[in-house]
Structure 1
Amino acid sequence: MIDILFKHIQEKVSLSDQDQEAVQSFFSPKKLRKKQYLLQAGDVCKHLTFVSKGLLRTYNVDDKGDEHMSIFGWEGWWISDFNSFLTGEPALFNIDAIEDSELLLISRSDYEALTLAVPIMDRYFRILYQNSLITKERRLMSSITHSAEEKYLLLVESNPQIIARIPQNLIASYLGIAPETLSRIKKNLAFRK
């Protein structure tokens, strides 16, 4: 499990063998079964979570009971209710497993200790936060400026391997469209080919 994390870290910063040993000591493994919660809205998010294997989703549920997808997290991704993690406020999001998953968790206190013990990890996390902010800005602009079909095509283009793993109703929710609209888009695209 930890090898996937080290591979991800090494894509952004260089870790010595001594750094890797130190980093490993701050994480704890966790397994989730499909549909099992990692976090429920209203609870405090106590961990940043790295997905070593599997697929998770972050979403909230409105007053009508409708789910609104925020993020999917698969191998090599981090997932959390970051506001809750940093502030200790109740989480706004649920996080659960779409597939059986293997995770690495780090608590807030261990996160702080890690960045002090292995300073290059502070740079690693800063790079992640910058990339996350860019991704969120692009998603916001896409939701404002693109049609439903364009949003779907962009998602397929950027994550072709993941589309096959995510149920269509969750993809529709992520795109902010009705499942029937997504079905219509897919039929129209298939017809044009």
Structure 2
Amino acid sequence: MELLLNYIRKYSSSLVSENDFEIIKSYFTFKKLRKKQYFLQEGQVCKHFAFILKGAMRQYYIDEKGTEHFVQLGIENWWMGDRESWAMLTPSRYTIDAWEDTEILTISHADVLKVSQQFPALMEMMRKMDEQNTIATQKRITSTISHTSQRRYTDFTLEYPDFIKRFPQHVIASYIGITKDTLSRVRNKRS
């Protein structure tokens, strides 16, 4: 729970007292996921968001050829969930599972609304998270449509150095929009 408190304090200028945090954490549920265990499956409505305490998760979809395409990766201090399904209450096109044995705190959509009305710090945190998510998405789109494979990989390693240690090449290649063979060539050139 200390990780969550630090996260809230990092992204909010409003003070969060220990008493406030006791109330805030009562809205969260602790869960453990085994490696490869689903948090959300394609076709389900995303009713909860997860804050990762320990471990790693991935969000992906599988195309008609059976190929996995990774759209989000997360490790400690990251949030995971399908934003579209969460906001619109529509079935998700994505699957989210644990890449490693993972410990998470989950919160429901209804509870996010309740707790954020009570505590301005959470509303500010969520606004900043949404801003950062939008910025990261814009950067990723720009990179995908205009940068070389080499540049995409270099940018990824600079932006997310911890991911290189936690996810295999084929996952990183899919995330940055290249094949694993191309990523192998890019990595060999760098060596």
**Cα offset for 1:184?**
0.9
Deviations 1:55-110 (A, max 9, x none): 00011111111111101011001110011111110011110111110000000111
**Cα offset for 1:50?**
0.5
Aligned residues of 1:57 and 1:98 also touching (Cα < 8 A):
yes
Secondary structure (helix, strand or coil) at the match of 2:64 reads coil
Alignment of 1:21-40 (within 5 A): 21-40=22-41
- Which residue does the alignment assign to 1:168? 169
Corresponding position: 1:159 with 2:171:
no
**TM-score (ref. length: structure 1):** 0.95
**Cα offset for 1:172?**
0.8
Structure 1 unaligned segments of length 5 or more: list them: none
**AA of the residue aligned to 2:117:** L
Q: Which runs of 4+ in 1 moved over 6 A?
A: none
Aligned residues of 1:69 and 1:173 also touching (Cα < 8 A):
yes
**AA of the residue aligned to 1:98:** W
**Cα offset for 1:164?**
1.3
- Which residue does the alignment assign to 1:6? 5
Distance 1:49 1:161 in 2: 19
**AA of the residue aligned to 1:170:** V
- Which residue does the alignment assign to 2:43? 42
Distance 2:65 2:163 in 1: 28
**Cα offset for 1:176?**
1.0
- Which residue does the alignment assign to 1:141? 142
Alignment of 1:38-187 (within 5 A): 38-187=39-188
Aligned residues of 2:56 and 2:98 also touching (Cα < 8 A):
yes
Deviations 1:6-65 (A, max 9, x none): 111111113112211111110001111111110011011110110111100011111111
**TM-score (ref. length: structure 2):** 0.96
**Cα offset for 1:174?**
0.5
Deviations 1:143-170 (A, max 9, x none): 1111001100111111112201101110
Secondary structure (helix, strand or coil) at the match of 2:70 reads strand
Secondary structure (helix, strand or coil) at the match of 2:90 reads coil
Aligned residues of 1:56 and 1:98 also touching (Cα < 8 A):
yes
Aligned residues of 1:44 and 1:90 also touching (Cα < 8 A):
yes
**Cα offset for 1:120?**
2.2
Aligned residues of 2:8 and 2:121 also touching (Cα < 8 A):
no
Aligned residues of 1:22 and 1:118 also touching (Cα < 8 A):
no
Tell me the C-alpha RMSD between the 2 structures. 0.9
**Cα offset for 1:116?**
1.6
Distance 1:111 1:160 in 2: 30
**AA of the residue aligned to 2:6:** K
Aligned residues of 1:57 and 1:95 also touching (Cα < 8 A):
yes
Distance 2:180 2:3 in 1: 34
Kindly, what percent of the aligned residue pairs are identical? Answer: 38
Aligned residues of 1:54 and 1:75 also touching (Cα < 8 A):
yes
